[in-house]
Amino acid sequence: MNILSVKNLHKSFGGLYAVIELSFDISEGEILGLIGPNGAGKTTLFNCITGFLVPEKGEIEFESEDLVGLSTFQICKKGVARTFQIERPFLDLSVLDNVVVAALNRIGSRKKATDFALEMIDFLGLEGQKNYMASELTVVKRKRLEMARTLATQPRILLLDEVMAGLNPNEVDEAVKILKEIHKKGITIMLIEHVMRAVMAVSDRIIVLNYGAKIAEGLPSDISNNQKVIEAYLGEDSLNAQG
C-alpha cells in the first residue's frame, strides 16, 4: 500500500530545473533514503511535497489525496511533517513551547498537548533543556528540537532533511537509533542525508537524484555499487582518471 506517490514532478527556478520528471512511491512503513550531490534538488522536492513550492507539473498523492495546491498547514494536518535543513526554531519560545505549538496540531487541549510535547522531548533526550529558550540551544540540540516538533504533529510520514549533518559519529549512531524507534511507532520515513553510513544503515530503499532527475533506485547494497551513482558523486573526471 503506497502512502505517498509522486508522479512526473517538475519544478524549475527561472530556467534552472531543480526537479525533473520525478516519479517514485513510498509504501506504508518504509524508510526511504534520498541522496544526491549538493544542489540535486532534494530539498526542493520536500518543499514541493509540503506546499512551500508549487510544482509546474506533476502529482503528489498522499493516501490517494492530491496534495498539490494545498497550503502547508493543511498538508501537515493530513499527516505529512518535515524538518528544515537549516533548523528553524521559534527563537523567542522555550523548547517546550516550541514543541507544544506542534502538538496543538492534533490535540486541542493545552494540558494534553503539553503532556504529549513533554513525551516527545523526553523521547529525543531534550528534557534537560525543556525550559531553555530555543535560541540558547546548540546546533545538535536544535536538530533534535526539529525532530521533536515534527513528531509532535503526529505525522503519518516524516520528511527529514539532513538531520544528521554536523553530528559526530557517536551522535550519528544515536540518531540512527532514534530513527529506528520512530519507525517502530509505525511512521513512514523519508530522509535526505549526506552521511552515507547512516543512510545505508537505516534505509529499506534508496533513491538517488542528480541535477533534479532520478538516476538510480534500489536496495542500499545495489546503490553503493551502482556505476552512475559513483559517477555522480565523484564526477566523471575521476573515473576517467582511473581509466
Partner 1 sequence: MNRNSIIFLAAVLLFLLLLPLFSSSALIGIFILIFFYAYLGQCWNILSGYVGAVSVGHALFVGIGAYISTKLALVWGLSPWIGMFLGGFCASIIALFIGYLGFRFRVKGVYFFLLTIAFAEVGRLIFLHLDVFGGPVGIFIPFKPSFINFQFKGNNPYYYIAMGMMIFSIIVVRIIEKSNIGLLSVAIREDEDAAQSLGVNSFKCKMILFFISGFMTALGGTFYANYFYYIQPDIVFGLGLSVDIILRPIVGGMGTVFGPVIGSFLMTPLAEFTRNYFAKGGYEGLHMIIYGIILIIVVLFFPRGLAPSFQRMYRSFKKNISKS
Q: Give whichever of 3 and 148 is closer to partner 1, judged by the CB atom.
A: 148
Residue 43 binds ligand ATP, judged by CB under 6 A: yes
With DSSP H G I counted as helix, E B as strand and the rest as coil, what are the percentages for the chain, rounded to 5?
A: 40, 25, 30
Cβ-based nearer residue to ligand ATP, 33 or 36: 36
Task: Give the one residue of 2, 27, 85, 224 binding Mg ion; rule: CB under 5 A.
Answer: 85
Q: Which of 16, 110, 221, 235 binds partner 1 (CB under 8 A)?
A: 110
Please list, in sequence order, all residues whose beta carbon lies within 8 angstroms of the beta carbon of residue 99, skipping any fewer than 6 positions away: 117, 120, 121, 145, 148, 149, 152
Matching residue, cell 513528531 = 151
Contacts of 42 (CB under 8 A, 6+ apart): 34, 35, 36, 161, 192, 209
Interface residue with ligand ATP, options 18, 113, 124, 126 (CB under 6 A):
18
Shortest distance, position 213 Cβ to Mg ion, whole Å: 16
C-alpha cell at 239: 573515473
> Does residue 40 touch ligand ATP according to CB under 6 A?
yes
Task: Give the shortest CB-109-to-Mg ion separation in angstroms.
Answer: 36
Within residues 12-71, the interface with partner 1 by CB under 8 A covers 50, 52, 71
* Closest to partner 1 by CB, 18 or 134: 134
- Figure out which of the listed residues 36, 51, 55, 79 binds ligand ATP, where binding follows CB under 6 A: 36
Select the residue interacting with ligand ATP from 29, 39, 58, 220 (CB under 6 A). Answer: 39
**Residue 188 binds partner 1 (CB under 8 A):** no
Q: How many chain residues are in contact with ligand ATP, going by CB under 6 A?
A: 12
Q: Work out whether 55 is an interface residue with ligand ATP (CB under 6 A).
A: no
Region of 8-16, 24-32, 77-85, 99-107 interacting with Mg ion (CB under 5 A):
77-85
How far from 24 is each of 91, 120, 173, 217, CA to CA, in Å?
A: 36, 30, 28, 9
If one asks whether residue 43 binds Mg ion (CB under 5 A), the answer comes out as yes
> CA-CA distance, 83 to 155, in Å (whole number)?
12
Q: CA-CA distance, 177 to 183, in Å (whole number)? A: 10
CA–CA separation, 161 and 126 (whole Å): 20
Report the alpha-carbon distance of residue 162 to residue 84 in Å, rounded: 8
